[in-house]
């Protein structure tokens, strides 16, 4: 049973960490940058492996943080020099990801790191990869990593709450009144990179995008308050993880896949049932006036 | 001492000059209307002054100090269309954003700040809408929330980008009342303005702009048919009893 429990805990941590951080991207209309960063952190992980010769958590987080910021920086620079922003994202993320894929083949059989693993993750293996100190096991490394990143993210959002909110709502005004908007932007990019790399082992580069974007997009339909939106995003992340595990258990399918699918189902439900913007409430309103 | 002085400002967009040789100095406590034909670079001018757009050359000083050192003195009312009003927040929260530089790092708005923000909403007739989600406000009400936010800033030099465009009578009144109050308090206000008929009623100074300043100075001296014709080319149809009306001349 502890095996299942660790998987559920890991899933919930992925859901909360990515859900909260990603909802900020949704509000800033930057969802696609999540897609880009989730792929380019592979380069950071591979790079960190070449430097430290291990798949240890800390170098991986640093490597991913650096590459994530570089991704955001390259996208900004290309955009500033006249390339359309979606094209800039497309060019940067495919190039850096491709470089990561090429470098990964040099690692070969030394460690368990391959393209398939990086893309899909395998949450089922998480409970076995535990943190060992003096022969005592302290639970899965993924849980420690996700937990630390979650605490860091919450701390940063708490510290820079005003700055994040103003620069998201009205960046020009924010700049005039002295909000460090560039700092906030790269802070957010760092948070996304860290969340991504911490979730990597569990859900992989593709499904982590679902966990970053879908909870925020769902919460956006359900509330008109900034803080509530963060809370609902976290909640949707947790619910997706738990119900995803249930689905995977019952039908014996991929856990990460089921989690992301569950998030998608919550989003669909919100589209239909949202009390403010939902399809059904709009139909009712329209029929009342017609 | 001048509240604002712009020296030799030039802005290009895609290598096309949008503004060139822009130099003027605004006296403290004045109410300036920035007018000129479409495409004259009015919004571009204030955005360049506010360092929101890259400039090719030139510099801006506020009370004789470089702009960057005087940021705290600057207030701004953007065009309503510049932000996404679906953002999940309410009117009071937007006004509180104006208190940012007064609140300081890592701190939340305290009771005093919130009371002050409510007073500002009240001054523009929006006291009853403090907790209203901003997307549920009318265009004029949204404009007044922006006014309240600028008011909350308690700045010394205010910039407004076409505040009168597409607003209702109540909002228009609120804007005029606020401008007069600011003037009485010795604050300096610059407004991008479209409607030539109201220029003489609203502003004591006028900047006539068409890619470069045609004329700057007191309204009665600058706002003349001759100058308007120079700024607008053939687009001024007639000027009667001091009232100009623009019409496209075919």
CB pairs under 8 A between A and B: 71
Helix axes A2-27, A141-159, angle to 10 degrees: 30
pLDDT band at B212, cuts 50/70/90? very high
Position A283 pLDDT exceeds 90: no
- Mutation target for A interface from B48, B96, B97: give the one with most A CBs within 10 A: B97
Contact B100 A162 (CB under 8 A): yes
Nearest-CA residue of chain B relative to A223?
B88
Using an 8 Å Cβ cutoff, are A196 and A38 in contact?
yes
List chain B residues with CB under 8 Å of A226: 87-89, 93
According to the 3-state scheme, what is the secondary structure of B11-51? EEECCEEEEEEEEEEEECCCEEEEECCCCCCHHHHHHHHCC
For position A106, what pLDDT does the model report? 82
Give the confidence band of A112 by pLDDT, cuts at 50, 70, 90.
low
pLDDT of A205? 79
* Percent over 90 (pLDDT), chain B: 78
Mind telling me how many Å the CA of B72 is from chain A's nearest CA?
A: 7
DSSP state of B163: T
Of B74, B87, B93, the CB nearest to A176: B74
Q: Do A178 and B100 touch (CB under 8 A)?
A: yes
Which residues does chain A have within 8 Å of residue B129's beta carbon, measured at their own beta carbons?
Answer: none
Q: Does the domain made of A2-289 have the CATH classification 1.10.3470.10?
A: yes
Q: For residue B82, what is the nearest residue in chain A, using CA coordinates?
A: A170
Return the percentage of chain A with pLDDT > 90, whole number. Answer: 58
CA distance B10 to B19: 5
Q: In what order do the strands lie in the sheet with B2-13?
A: B16-27, B2-13, B57-62, B65-66
Higher per-residue pLDDT: B58 or A203: B58
- Out of A215-229, B49-63, B221-235, pick the least confident: B221-235
What pLDDT is recorded for position A134?
Answer: 84
Cβ atoms of A41 and A64 closer than 8 Å: yes
Residue from B88, B90, B130, B145 to probe the interface with A (highest A Cβ count within 10 Å): B88
Contact residues, chain A to chain B, C-beta under 8 Å:
27, 29, 159, 161-162, 165-166, 168-170, 172-173, 175-179, 220, 223-226, 228-229
Q: Do B203 and B191 contact (CB within 8 A), yes or no?
A: yes
Which residue on chain A is closest to B54 by alpha carbon? Answer: A80
Instruction: Decide if B71 and A176 are in contact by the 8 Å CB cutoff.
Output: yes
* B15, B82, B87, B99: best to mutate for the A interface, most A CBs within 10 A: B87
Indicate the pLDDT class of residue A1, thresholds 50, 70 and 90: low
CB contact under 8 A, A162 and B84: no
Name the minimum distance, in Å, from the CA of A19 to any CA of chain B: 17
Amino acid B96: pLDDT: 96
Whether the pLDDT of residue A111 is over 80: the answer is no
| Residue A273 φ/ψ, nearest 5 degrees | -105, -5
Distance from CA of A175 to the nearest CA of B (A): 8
- Look at residue A125 and tell me whether its pLDDT is greater than 90: no
Which residues of chain A lie closer than 8 angstroms to B82, CB-CB? 170, 172
* Cβ <8 Å between A172 and B82: yes
Give the predicted TM-score (pTM) of the model: 0.90
With bands split at pLDDT 50, 70 and 90, how would you rate the model's confidence at B247?
Answer: very low
Model pLDDT, residue B250: 34
Which residues of chain B are within 8 Å of residue A162 when distances are taken between CB atoms?
97, 100, 103, 108
A176·B84 Cβ contact <8 A: no
Dihedral angle over CA of A132, A138, A141, A145, nearest 10: -130
Q: Mean pLDDT in chain A? A: 89
**Residues of A whose CB is below 8 A from B74:** 176-177
Which positions ≥6 away from B226 have C-beta within 8 Å? none
User: What topology does CATH give the domain B2-88+152-246?
Assistant: Rossmann fold (3.40.50)
Q: What pLDDT band is residue B9 in, cutting at 50, 70 and 90?
A: very high
Q: Do A224 and B133 touch (CB under 8 A)?
A: yes
Cα separation of A22 and A232, whole Å? Answer: 12
Q: Which of A99-113, A174-188, A211-225 has the lowest mean pLDDT?
A: A99-113
Residue of A nearest to B47 (CA): A172
Give the residue from chain B lying closest to A168, CA to CA.
Answer: B87
Beta pairing partners, B5: B25, B61
Q: What are the φ and ψ backbone dihedral angles of B105, each rounded to 5 degrees?
A: -60, 145
Structure tokens at A126: 């998480």
Per-residue pLDDT, A213: 96
Helix ranges (H only) for chain A are: 2-27, 31-52, 57-80, 85-107, 115-120, 141-159, 161-169, 171-176, 181-222, 226-251, 255-273, 279-289
Of A169, A173, A175, the CB nearest to B89: A169
Longest dimension (CA), chain A: 73
Q: Rounded distance, CA B223 to CA A98, Å? A: 63
Residues of B in contact with A220 (CB under 8 A): 88
């Amino acid at each position: 049973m502890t095996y299942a429990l660790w998987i559920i805990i890991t899933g919930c941590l992925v859901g909360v960490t990515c859900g909260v951080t990603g909802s900020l991207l949704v509000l800033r209309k930057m969802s696609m940058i999540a897609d880009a960063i989730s792929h380019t952190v592979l380069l950071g992980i591979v790079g960190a492996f070449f430097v430290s010769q291990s798949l240890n958590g800390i170098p991986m987080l640093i490597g991913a943080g650096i590459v994530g910021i570089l991704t955001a920086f390259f996208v900004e620079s290309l955009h500033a020099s006249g390339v359309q922003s979606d094209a800039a994202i497309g060019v940067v993320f495919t190039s850096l990801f491709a470089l990561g894929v090429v470098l990964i083949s040099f690692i070969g059989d030394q460690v368990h790191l391959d393209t398939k693993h990086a893309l899909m993750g395998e949450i089922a293996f998480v409970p076995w990869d535990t943190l060992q100190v003096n022969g005592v096991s302290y639970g899965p490394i993924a849980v420690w990593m996700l937990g630390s990143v979650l605490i860091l993210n919450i701390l940063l959002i708490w510290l820079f709450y005003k700055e994040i909110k103003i620069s998201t709502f009205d960046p020009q005004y924010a700049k005039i009144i002295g909000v460090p908007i560039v700092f906030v932007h790269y802070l957010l990019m760092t948070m996304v990179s860290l969340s991504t790399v911490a979730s990597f082992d569990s859900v992989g580069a593709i499904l982590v995008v679902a966990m970053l974007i879908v909870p925020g997009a769902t919460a956006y339909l359900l509330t008109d308050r900034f803080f509530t939106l963060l809370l609902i995003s976290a909640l949707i992340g947790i619910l997706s993880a738990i119900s995803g595990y249930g689905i995977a258990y019952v039908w014996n399918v991929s856990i990460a896949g089921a989690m992301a699918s569950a998030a998608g189902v919550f989003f669909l439900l919100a589209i239909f049932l949202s009390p403010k913007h939902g399809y059904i409430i709009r139909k009712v309103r329209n029929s009342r006036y017609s | 001492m001048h509240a604002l002085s712009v020296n030799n400002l030039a802005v290009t967009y895609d290598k096309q000059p949008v503004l060139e040789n822009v130099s003027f100095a605004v006296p403290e406590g004045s109410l300036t209307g920035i007018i000129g034909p479409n495409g004259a670079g009015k919004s571009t001018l204030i955005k360049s002054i506010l360092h929101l757009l890259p400039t090719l050359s030139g510099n801006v000083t506020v009370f004789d100090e470089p702009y960057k050192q005087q940021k705290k003195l600057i207030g701004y009312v953007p065009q309503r269309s510049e932000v996404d009003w679906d953002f999940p927040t309410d009117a009071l929260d937007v006004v509180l954003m104006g208190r940012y530089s007064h609140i300081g790092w890592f701190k939340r708005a305290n009771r005093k700040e919130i009371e002050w923000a409510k007073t500002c909403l009240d001054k523009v007739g929006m006291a009853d809408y403090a907790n209203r989600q901003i997307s549920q406000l009318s265009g004029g009400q949204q404009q007044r929330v922006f006014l309240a936010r600028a008011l909350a800033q308690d700045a010394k030099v205010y910039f407004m980008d076409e505040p009168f465009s597409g607003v209702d009578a109540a909002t228009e009144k609120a804007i005029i009342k606020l401008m007069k109050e600011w003037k009485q308090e010795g604050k300096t206000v610059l407004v991008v303005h479209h409607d030539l008929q109201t220029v003489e009623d609203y502003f004591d100074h006028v900047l006539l702009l068409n890619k470069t300043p045609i004329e700057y100075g007191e309204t009665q001296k600058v706002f003349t048919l001759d100058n308007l014709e120079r700024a607008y080319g053939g687009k001024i149809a007639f000027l009667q009893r001091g009232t100009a009306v623009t019409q496209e001349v075919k």
